[in-house]
Amino acid sequence: MSDRHTPLSLVLRYAALIAVSAVMIGPFLWLLSLSVRGGGNIYEMRLIPSVMTLDTYREVWTDYQLAGNFLNSVLVAVLSVVLTVLLAGTAAYPLARHTFRGRQLVFLAILSTMMVPFQVYMVPLVLLCKDIGLSDAAVNLPGPLDGLEGIARRLRAAVAVVLPFSVSAFGVFLLRQHFLGVPRDLEEAARIDGAGEFTIWRVVMMPLAKPAVATLAIFTFVFSWSNFLWPLLILSREETYTLPVRIAQLSGALIRSTNTLAAASVIAIVPVIVFFLIFQRWFIQGATLGAVKG
């Protein structure tokens, strides 16, 4: 312990932290409070409303079919995590372990995509996705969105959201760093046992890089759950919208029903907050990785 804490400094420290936490968490509590207000008391200035109702949640979940958008968000997030980890893992392995012509060039090319922000080329990307039929235009045709066929359509839209950004330069960098640290002996032992390159990747490399894989998966999940601009550009049917896009659209439609809109907003953030609270130690570690290793 390098710091001595006098009683006064402790009181001041905790007072400041409680005040700041109130500012950071207060808006969410206010949102929660708005979402359960019934009838005519939407605008009263009380954190605990005098008339409470959960009808707002039922209304957005079933009448406005937010359940479907929730499903889309889950599909997008899961697909995004799986693809990002698989692609970063397969690309990072030869970059860390093989010597071949063009290795430096390929690694630089992958990293260079971090320098160009997506907004710079979003316009041509939209045009491209429309041209090759990746945008949800196909899903746009009227058709059922429930049952197996519905899942297939939603998945098809999720691919359009996920695929163009499924190669994470940060992920390739992170996994390459971890693969570099895996002892050569393990790889050689597997090779002597007759394992092929793919088996070595699957059985030796990926399991040994588990902390990095977990960090990448967790950050990808959170990013994907909140991602807004690309889904907004590529999706054009409210049934295939992810939660953020649907809520942005509802904010126009529900301009007079603040409580219902607030309920939709709560539904959109509760999963990601719970996810964060479960995995919080990884967020601290992940930020450290990004910060220290650039």
Residues between 262 and 281 with contacts to other proteins, criterion CB under 8 A: 262, 265, 268-269, 272-273, 275-277, 280
The distance of closest approach from Cβ of residue 144 to other proteins in the complex, given in angstroms and rounded to an integer, is: 28
Q: Which is nearer to other proteins, 110 or 157 (CB)?
A: 110
Helix, strand or coil for residue 190?
helix
The answer to whether residues 187 and 97 touch, using CB atoms and an 8 Å cutoff, is: yes
> Which residue matches tokens 């039929």?
133
Q: Which is nearer to other proteins, 62 or 251 (CB)?
A: 251
* 150 contacts other proteins (rule: CB under 8 A): no
The distance of closest approach from Cβ of residue 124 to other proteins in the complex, given in angstroms and rounded to an integer, is: 4
Restricted to residues 36-65, the positions that interact with other proteins (CB under 8 A) are 43, 45
Tokens coding 10: 């402790």
Q: Which is nearer to other proteins, 101 or 148 (CB)?
A: 101
How many chain residues interact with other proteins (CB under 8 A)?
Answer: 91
* 19 contacts other proteins (rule: CB under 8 A): no
* 164 contacts other proteins (rule: CB under 8 A): yes
Q: Which of 8, 24, 48, 192 binds other proteins (CB under 8 A)?
A: 24
Restricted to residues 226-255, the positions that interact with other proteins (CB under 8 A) are 226, 228-229, 233, 243-245, 247-248, 251
The distance of closest approach from Cβ of residue 146 to other proteins in the complex, given in angstroms and rounded to an integer, is: 25
Cα distance between residue 48 and residue 34, in whole Å: 9
Restricted to residues 85-144, the positions that interact with other proteins (CB under 8 A) are 87-88, 90-91, 93-95, 98, 100-101, 103, 106, 109-110, 113, 115-117, 119-128
Q: What is the DSSP string of 192-254?
A: HTT--HHHIIIIIIHHHTHHHHHHHHHHHHHHHHH--HHHHHH--SGGG--HHHHHHHHHHHT
The distance of closest approach from Cβ of residue 167 to other proteins in the complex, given in angstroms and rounded to an integer, is: 5
Alpha helices (H) in the chain, listed in sequence order: 7-35, 55-58, 66-97, 103-112, 118-131, 137-140, 147-162, 169-180, 184-192, 197-199, 206-208, 210-226, 229-234, 243-253, 258-278, 280-292
Tokens coding 211: 């902390």
Tokens coding 194: 């007759």
The distance of closest approach from Cβ of residue 7 to other proteins in the complex, given in angstroms and rounded to an integer, is: 13
Tokens coding 292: 């220290």
Restricted to residues 171-200, the positions that interact with other proteins (CB under 8 A) are 172, 197
Q: Which is nearer to other proteins, 17 or 180 (CB)?
A: 17
